Amino acid sequence: MDLIGQLADIVGFHPSYTGTFGDKVFATDEAKQALLEAMGFELDEQSLIESIAYLNQRRWTTILPVVYIAKLEEQQHAITVSLPNIEGLVLHWQITVEETNEVINSCSDKSLLTGTVKVSDLAIIAEKTIGEIRYCQYLLNLPTLFQGYHQLTVKYSQDDVNASHSFEEQSARCPLIYAPKTCYSAQDASANKMWGYTAQLYSLRSNDNWGMGDFGDLSKLVDISAQQQAATIGLNPLHPLYVNNPSHRSPYSPSTRCFINPIYIDVTQIANFEHCQLAQQQYNSTAFQHSLAEAKGATLVDYPKVAKLKYQIVELLFADFCLNVTDCWEKSVNKADTYAEKISHAKNSVHLAKSTDEQNLYRCMAENFEAFKAEQGNDLQQFATFDALYEHFQVNNDNSFGWQDWPLDFQNPLSEAVREFQLTHATRIDYFCFLQWIAAQQLSAIKKQTGEQNMAIGLYLDLAVGCDGSGFDVWSDQAVYVAGASIGAPPDDMNALGQNWGLTPINPVALQEQGYQPLVKALRSSMQYAGALRIDHILGLMRQYWVAPGMGADEGVYISFPWDDILRIIALESRRNNCVVIGEDLGNVPDGFSETIQNAGLLSFKVLFFERWDSGLFKRPDNFPEQSIVTIATHDTATLTGWWQGRDLEWREQLDLYPNETAGQADRDSRVGERKNLIAALNDLHVIDMNKAPQLIPAVMNTELSMAVQKYLAMSPSHLQLIPIEDMLEIAEQVNIPGTIDEHPNWLQKLPVLLEDFWQTDSMTDIVNAINAIRPK
């Protein structure tokens, strides 16, 4: 094997993979070379030799592994240490125990554990000579600890008998993670089979929102859904996109996976909204109300217009907050802070709190805001800095759409230029912290509301597979991301050329070196608000399909991730947050993969349209595993109405996705048989009244079919059934067509019925009654 092939093999690139159609696809040398360069490797011959040697030898030349996962269910734990074969070595170890409620409430108050052992008393498990040094690997026994993220530090020295003046003590440290085998389960949440809705939050229309669904709408949806005995409400990802580029709308292409998209804030629920005279004047002005009416009346979500409406009011509320929280505010800011100066100039126009109640309101706001900033720490400060920088440079350059377009000094988050910016723009950075605080407040209140309404799961959130390369996560942690490469998917039935998702991948080697913290933060950021979390394209945490810079999506290469460790991390965060985890395991997944995630306590994802035998017949619902979610469709597939009427096939033809007319006609002919197969499956289980069955040719949708399909799925052993609101309302258009941006109104469509009128819709009422008869709470 050549040097490029050797390095690619060590790093984890697959030499080949089996395609959807059973063909073996080999990774090209060009793709491997481009991806290794993107990972930061120098590829001249000498550098290749050195990199290969380092990666092959580091498990010997480094004392500890980069990270160690201890299996919580095992009775004994031991870690491998590698030491030079020197007489009289003594090993000193120290474990810093994570401070958690488990530790605080335990009978032991030890947060620091120490020990010493003679290396000669340890059993050698392996030996290897590198150069002139003989290395030995030993097993060091570890104490039993609570689940959590601990830190192990070891140091070796020589005993008094063998001490040498030339000997130098060496030390090392690594994350020590004690993690359970399985996640918090759906059965832990409820012994009974459950059901719930899925909704694209932005798509909700109501009398109160400002042109797109918001947290106020979500609160109303929770109230009504709970009354209908729904256990959960599934949502699109709520990750932040770009405050100053609201046209960037895909929720699966976030700036970061660790905070909340503030465009979902219900501005009218901000605590000082009613008390801020400037905000009230602006809100009630003729011009504002005209723009608001336009945003609400638009057929599609107008993100720029909605963002402008919301943020101009929130900025006034922030200024009002600043000037009311303390008399010393103006003295506490940097004199070069131009945004602070702008707020100070508005002081004469701002109503300062006079009554005791008003003063208490602002005092409470200030205390909670400061507590939020302290809790979120440097991560929030850096994210708010990123948003302020993004805004700053876009003001001067309309074509600046990410940190790569900034001056070089600002592309490093730790640079002196960034630190100076933080001083001179501290108040503006505080404004972006304020946005996150309000969003977190409102989403936390909804989580509390789901508990008060006795929803078994509550909110079901969605974790995107990756991040946009121009966003905060990549800027703030460039060492862990592979700039230029992109996550995607190989060719399949629906995308013959493969898919390039434009998401920057995480380097699995760097992920381990950081103790999996980038993944931990992403999981924890969503789980804190959720009773369930769907991990999009979970196969990407075992192996990921990377598209090299400048190459086609059909030329991608798979790379392995430390899957067993990652499953443990997911289980640990799931248990800590009492959060059910769903692995979206659709598409080209290896045999046994779904069973593996089910054994780890995750729910597999079963979609009716994909659950068919080779003959084309639909699988009976009793074939679905208990450890799964079952649904009719996803945001990336046709709705039931769209499928029945062939709307998805119309889009394929319109988008020129067929190689010729013959292929398109073949799909349309096949759909006739698929409709017949679906009716036959429904009739077989007696869930459809054949006297009311819908017309097959030409296909006409009706509520009998909607209700029958949901009853069919409800009979499955799957512990959770999800019903898209689009299917409850019998909408024909799907939410998103993968591979398109502006060709289809992805992430733009509003529901045709007001939220206040959902529950008077016959199809929703009929389906809810039918589901509750089969899956009672």
- 400 and 290, same domain (yes or no): yes
pLDDT of residue 575: 98
Answer yes or no: is 344 within a domain.
yes
The reply to whether 185 falls in a domain is: no
- Summarize pLDDT for 750-774 with one digit per residue, the tens: 999 999 998 888 889 999 999 999 9
Kindly tell me the sign of the dihedral angle through the C-alpha atoms of 715, 735, 764, 445.
Answer: positive
* 291 and 411, same domain (yes or no): yes
**pLDDT over threshold 60, residue 284:** yes
Work out the average pLDDT over 418-437.
97
Per-residue pLDDT averaged across 507-525, rounded?
96
Helix, coil or strand: residue 152:
strand
Which of residues 159, 179, 199 is at a domain's end? 179
Whether residue 636 is contained in a domain is answered as no
Same domain, 277 and 384: yes
Same domain, 140 and 274: no
Domain that holds residue 124: 74-179
Confidence category of residue 165, pLDDT binned at 50, 70, 90: low
Domain-located, residue 697: no
Helix or strand (DSSP H, E) at 535? strand 532-535
User: CB under 8 Å to 28, separation ≥6 — which residues?
Assistant: 555
Is residue 381 assigned to a domain? yes
pTM, 2 dp: 0.94
Q: In the listed set 395, 430, 465, which residue is the last one of a domain according to the structure?
A: 430
* Domain shared by 272 and 154, yes or no: no
Percent of the chain whose predicted confidence (pLDDT) is above 70:
94
Q: How many domains does the chain have?
A: 2
Whether 594 is covered by a domain: the verdict is no
Give me the CATH number covering residue 105: 2.60.40
Confidence of residue 644 (pLDDT cuts 50, 70, 90): very high
**Per-residue pLDDT at 614 exceeds 70:** yes
For residue 111, the model assigns a pLDDT of: 86
Strands (E), 572-627: 580-583, 604-607
Q: What does the pLDDT read at residue 341? A: 66
pLDDT given for residue 106 in this prediction: 47
- Give dist(CA 712, CA 707) in Å, integer: 9
CA–CA gap between residue 399 and residue 518 (Å, rounded)? 29
CA distance 88 to 101: 41
Which SS3 state, helix, strand or coil, does residue 764 take? Answer: helix
* Whether 308 and 407 share a structural domain: yes
**What is the sign, positive or negative, of the torsion defined by CA atoms of 566, 568, 571, 575?**
negative
Place of tokens 């121009």: 470
Q: Which two tokens stand for residue 14?
A: 């697959």
Per-residue pLDDT, 96: 96
Q: For residue 707, is it within any domain?
A: no
pLDDT in tens, 85-114: 988 899 999 999 998 755 444 445 568 999
Print burial letters for 534-544: b (CB count within 10 Å at least 16), e (below 16): bbbbbbbbbbb
Residue with tokens 């990774």: 27
171 & 312 share domain: no
Which residue, of 397, 430, 463, is where some domain finishes?
430
Residue 247's nearest CA partner among 299, 308, 292 is 308
In a domain, 445, yes or no: no
pLDDT, tens only, 122-134 = 989 999 999 999 9
pLDDT at 107: 42
